[in-house]
């Protein structure tokens, strides 16, 4: 609720629903979770969740990252793994959520997963768009706000855009919360680098992101237009 650019944004009205409700409904529609739980430090969000029958849990205000918040939840809600869906992604596709979770369901050696999609040319230089480079088995080598890899050769690999959704096993997310912030994490301001710097391998699943996350009132208005177009097609939770 304390967003500096958009105070109160999780509960902004989008076609008669708070933004958070769209995220919860997409998470349920993904069909991969035993429980969908809203983790929040704000009583207003907890109260709002009760109006659309969403389970919610109150967490600390002190968490520097969303993953630290999930680690707190994991102490009281025991599960094999958790999928972290950001509350400002009302356009997220349920298929993206399922794509993030499936590698952990199918292979118990995988400790953590995230998602990538092709990076449009006009976003490669944008530091707000995170890029990821992977090995031949699609495990992350590095994440950066810088355009990676550098296109020295015309026929090199495509630039991959990181989609900010994570699935992690319980022991991994709990370990994360015991580690201090790491040098690369602080340099790039990317929490996923803390995992890499501690040797945790992150499987990257090919998928696609939402059209727009909400950080400003102007973006909320654009999301309203997109949702209206989706509803006109009878498919509000799909890209």
pTM for the full model?
0.90
Q: pLDDT by residue (tens digit) across 149-198?
A: 988 887 778 899 999 999 999 999 999 999 999 999 999 999 999 999 99
- Residues 67 and 176 sit within 8 Å (Cβ to Cβ): yes
- Residues 90 and 22 sit within 8 Å (Cβ to Cβ): yes
Question: Across residues 101-130, what is the average pLDDT?
Answer: 93
Q: pLDDT by residue (tens digit) across 213-238?
A: 888 999 999 999 999 998 886 556 55
The mean predicted confidence, pLDDT, of the chain is 92
Instruction: Report whether pLDDT(200) > 50.
Output: yes
What percentage of residues in the chain have a pLDDT greater than 90?
80
The CA–CA distances, whole Å, from 148 to 1, 184, 195 equal 33, 15, 19
- CATH number for 9-232 (one of 3.40.50.720, 3.40.50.2000, 3.90.550.10, 3.40.50.2020): it is 3.90.550.10
Q: Which residues contact 230 (CB under 8 A, 6 or more apart)?
A: 236, 237, 238
In Å, how far from its chain's centre is CA 203? 15
Residue ranges per domain, the chain?
A: 9-232
- Residues 133 and 148 sit within 8 Å (Cβ to Cβ): yes
Q: pLDDT by residue (tens digit) across 66-99?
A: 999 999 999 999 999 999 999 999 999 999 999 9
Q: Which residues contact 43 (CB under 8 A, 6 or more apart)?
A: 58
HEC sequence for 57-124? EECCCCCCCHHHHHHHHHHHCCCCEEEECCCCCCCCCHHHHHHHHHHHHHCCCCCEEEEEEECCHHHC
Q: What pLDDT score does 1 carry?
A: 86
């Amino acid at each position: 609720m304390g967003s500096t650019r958009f105070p109160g944004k999780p509960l902004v009205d989008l076609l008669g629903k708070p933004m958070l409700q769209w995220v919860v409904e997409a998470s349920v529609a993904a069909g991969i979770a035993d429980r969908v739980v809203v983790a929040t430090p704000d009583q207003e969000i907890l109260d709002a969740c009760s109006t659309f029958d969403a389970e919610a849990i109150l967490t600390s205000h002190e968490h520097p990252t969303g993953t630290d918040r999930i680690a707190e939840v994991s102490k009281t809600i025991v599960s094999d793994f958790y999928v972290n869906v950001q509350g400002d992604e009302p356009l997220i596709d349920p298929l993206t959520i399922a794509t993030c979770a499936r590698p952990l369901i199918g292979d118990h050696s995988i400790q953590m997963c995230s998602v990538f999609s092709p990076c449009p040319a006009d976003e490669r230089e944008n530091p707000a768009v995170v890029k990821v480079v992977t090995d031949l088995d699609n495990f992350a080598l590095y994440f950066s706000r810088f355009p990676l890899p550098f296109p020295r050769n015309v026929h090199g690999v495509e630039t991959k855009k990181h989609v900010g959704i994570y699935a992690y096993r319980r022991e991994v997310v709990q370990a994360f919360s015991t580690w201090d912030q790491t040098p690369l994490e602080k340099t790039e301001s990317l929490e996923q680098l803390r995992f890499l710097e501690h040797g945790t391998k992150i499987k990257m699943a090919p998928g696609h992101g939402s059209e727009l996350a909400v950080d400003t009132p102007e973006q909320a208005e654009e999301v309203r237009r997109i949702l209206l177009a989706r509803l006109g097609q009878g498919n509000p939770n799909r890209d």
